[in-house]
Amino acid sequence: MRYVVGYTPTDRGADAVALASAMARAQGAHLDLVYVVDRRTPYVAMNPEGSRVSAAEQEVLSAEREGLSLIPKDIEARFHVRQADSHAAGLIDAAQEYKAGLIVVGAASSGLFKRYTIGSAANALLHASPVPVALAPRGYHRTEPISRLTLAVGQRAGAEAAIDVAIESAERRGVPLRLVSLVELDAEGDSGENINAAHVHANTVLTAAAHRLPAGHHVTVEVAHGRTIEEAIDDLEWDEGEILIVGSSRLAEKNKLFIGSTAHKVLLALPVPMVVVPRDYVRIDTSPED
């Protein structure tokens, strides 16, 4: 498995490397740190003559040194420079070329500690990426292996790709899987019916997951509710090493991401990393030699 990490020599880049390292450790994934520069920026990967380098080249070399220094010694990683029209386009191109199973980025630099403020690059990824996107909240420094996966299952059938990713990931990593349905009581419709529908759907997914996971694998289900999605999120307990998985909006094009309004509300209130899975996504295993 290969993960593309959107790296810049900033706190946001460090957050992305930490999250990618935590996710890679449980299954020996390889990290590809991708530093995107503008197509008009002159860049030479190596200078065999040993002559002086430009300021742009020196910036890239410094980013490579800083980025790789953040990688734990037990994780394999490479540093790449991509020239592209935008940060998001460069990361998507890299993910497609390397057949990566994930793009990992940090949240924008502003905002509350351990919370999200979506920058332009992350927003573009959340509306165009053909592979899952993992978002690290501001100030995320944990590099220990992921301890639990939580899947947001909603109140209705759908998001099969996210369900598949959550079940397969929990089995590969050997970590507990929690299924959560969030109910916004102030939303349209009868709140009692909404809560009941959430319970029914969550338990249906629970039954399917239990059949697909090895005997004894820990799977639980919870329905959280509040006047708002933010209150429902606050109603849940979150492990420090947890990740939330959500599916792409039904408005998304096939094999593309499109984060919906509910997922966006969840993201702004969430205290842990979030992975968004494209509609109809199918995981591909690759190695650095592929």
Each residue's pLDDT tens digit, 55-101: 777 888 899 999 999 999 999 999 999 989 999 999 999 999 999 99
- Per the model's pLDDT, the better-predicted residue between 100 and 108 turns out to be 100
Q: What does the pLDDT read at residue 66?
A: 96
Q: What does the pLDDT read at residue 243?
A: 96
Asked if residue 275 has pLDDT above 90, the reply is: yes
Q: Which residues, in sequence order, are CB contacts of 69 under 8 Å at separation 6+?
A: none
Asked if residue 50 has pLDDT above 80, the reply is: no
Given a contact cutoff of 8 angstroms between Cβ atoms, the answer to whether 1 and 101 are in contact is yes
CA distance 241 to 181: 20
Q: What does the pLDDT read at residue 41?
A: 67
Q: In the structure encoding, which two tokens stand for residue 266, read together?
A: 């969840």
Mean residue pLDDT across the chain: 84
Burial-class residue 154 by CB neighbours within 10 Å (0-12, 13-18, 19+): buried
Backbone φ/ψ region at 255: left (φ over 0), alpha (ψ -120 to 50), beta: left
Task: List the single range of 63-77, 82-96, 103-117, 239-253 with lowest mean pLDDT.
Answer: 103-117
Task: List the single range of 47-61, 164-178, 202-216 with lowest mean pLDDT.
Answer: 47-61
The helix/strand/coil state of 56 is helix
Given a contact cutoff of 8 angstroms between Cβ atoms, the answer to whether 185 and 155 are in contact is no
Given a contact cutoff of 8 angstroms between Cβ atoms, the answer to whether 258 and 251 are in contact is yes
- Count, in order, helices (H) and strands (E) of the chain: 8, 10
- Per the model's pLDDT, the better-predicted residue between 110 and 65 turns out to be 65
pLDDT tier at 26, thresholds 50, 70, 90: confident
Q: What does the pLDDT read at residue 45?
A: 52
* Phi, psi of 106, rounded to the nearest 5 degrees: -95, 160
Asked if residue 102 has pLDDT above 60, the reply is: yes
pTM: predicted TM-score of the whole model, two decimal places? 0.86
At which residue do the structure tokens 């429902």 appear?
232
285 CB neighbour count, 10 Å cutoff: 11
